[in-house]
A and B are shown apart, each in its own frame.
Chain A
Amino acid sequence: MGLHNGDKMMRYEEWSKLARKASKRSLWMVHFCTGCGAIEMPPVMTSRYDMERFGIAPMATPRQADVLLITGYLTVKTLRRVIQVYEQMQSPKYVIAFGSCTINGGMYWDSYNTIKHLEKYIPVDLYIAGCMPRPEGIINAFLELMKLIDEGKARGWERYQKYYDKYKENQRRVFNFEVKEEEKEEKEQKREKNEEH
């Protein structure tokens, strides 16, 4: 086309800058509220705090959404669903983790069943600290995320692609797949013994 490679890169940079400008003013959110904190969402969406004025809208399915908002603690069981939802979303995609429990386990720091650090399993772009954070905190987090997107710093989805093996390894460890295989072997051995008898 007669364009130098550098020109192409420049043009790509300009386009992606434009795309980021559009993307930061239209953040569609799917909220994953199996822990506590779901009650903070209705005031944010409705007339009191009205997040639609920033172009943020709740979406029905992960396919349509850009932001995954995870509120409160996650157990091993819900983490599996979070990862499914996250992988169904279409990049560029961002994750906001809400509440102390997603940062270091919060009040469930010694619980046998809740995961402690969410960012070991999926990349988190932004944390909202507090137990519970107020609706202003959520609005503020979204504004902060907009700033990060504009500066090109919200790149969790690229991290997930780059370190995919490591994330998968961590997820596999927490889901106990190895132990399960051992168990299967044990069961098979028992079955064989029973057949021998």
Chain B
Amino acid sequence: MDMIGIAIKITILIAYAIIGTCTGLLFMGIGRKIVARVHNRVGPPFYQNFIDVAKLLSKKTNISHGWIFDLALLFSISGILLTLLFLPIGGVQLLSTDGDAFLVLYLLAIPSLGFALGAGASGNPNAGVGVMRALVMMLSYELPFVITLIALMIYYDTTSLATIVRMQSINGIKSWAITMPPFMIAAFAADMALQGMLMEQPFDIPVAPHEIASGPMVEFGGKYLGSLMLYKAIALVAETTLFVDLFLGGGVVAHGNFAFVINFIVWLALIFLLFALSILIAASFPRFRIEQAFGFYWKYEAIIAAISLIWVYIMVIK
């Protein structure tokens, strides 16, 4: 591999990190505005989250709880950045291997583990409770999500995300997975799992501010909290992109020389729609208890996902 190729990849990586962060922060700001309008409030300006991050990064004292506490944040941010590299964005995928659909699932677990490390190092009991809840939540939403992923893999006969996206973009919107009846059901299950991944309202059990004082983040302040907000912004983009890649053809609608620009805009619009949907759900539902969320995912969502899996299997056999 030549040096120029590596240099280009590094440049694109930095560009991805910046685009991911800016998009995420912008979406979070717009999300706050949407919630405010639902509550019949004026709400903060859409650029509020940029100000928040700037303020947090300019704090004068930053209390650390040991080197594990410092490293945990790097762990989370690098994990989510790596995930972003493996996801096709507007049809372009920077890194790819065979079976990267599985790999992404594993990579998405890294930030949660990073969280667990940092929270454990802080030694706050609220953080411990929050981490336990976060891991239980992960266990809950992964089951329906994995079942829908297997259904997709069986139908397209591949474990590569790039292939799934390419197969869905042959005929434009008509060939998106979500247009087929079994995948409509699967998409519902996956969207609910996405709600859990984003930790939005019915499933914001791990960070419940009124119960456990914002859970794993309880000891984070200053620059640490600022980095955490950056991580959250990138995570928002990565998780919605995963859904778009699996069910909405990765936003690929055009082919040709300058198709990337159009595809990129379509991708941006699609992840925004997904995020807006999740924010609207969040604004209108109260919080589940942990066993309710667990029951919801393992009873109803898993059954819905299993129905779509069986349906797909029958279709493939015929």
Contact = CB atoms under 8 A, between A and B. Distances in A.
Q: A–B direct touch, CB within 8 Å, in complex?
A: yes
Interface of A: 15, 18-19, 22-23, 25-26, 28, 46-47, 50, 52-55, 59-61, 63-64, 66, 89-92
A66 B210 CA distance: 19
Where chain B touches its partner, the secondary structure class is loop
24 contacts: A18-B54, A19-B54, A22-B55, A26-B51, A47-B39, A47-B41, A50-B36, A50-B42, A52-B36, A53-B44, A54-B44, A55-B44, A55-B51, A60-B214, A60-B218, A61-B218, A61-B219, A61-B221, A63-B218, A63-B219, A63-B225, A64-B225, A89-B221, A90-B60
A25 B210 CA distance: 24
A50 B55 contact: no
Contacts of A18: 54, 58
Contact of B52 (A26, A53, A92): A26
B201 to A, nearest CB: 16
Where chain A touches its partner, the secondary structure class is loop
Interface of B: 32, 36, 39-45, 48, 51-52, 54-55, 58-63, 209-210, 213-214, 217-222, 225
Nearest to A54: B44
A28 to B, nearest CB: 8
Contacts of B55: 19, 22-23, 25-26, 66
B221 A52 contact: no
B217 A64 contact: yes
A160 to B, nearest CB: 12
Contacts of B43: 50, 52-53
Contacts of A52: 32, 36, 41-44
A155 to B, nearest CB: 12
B213 A60 contact: yes
Given A26-B52, A52-B44, A90 B221 contact: yes
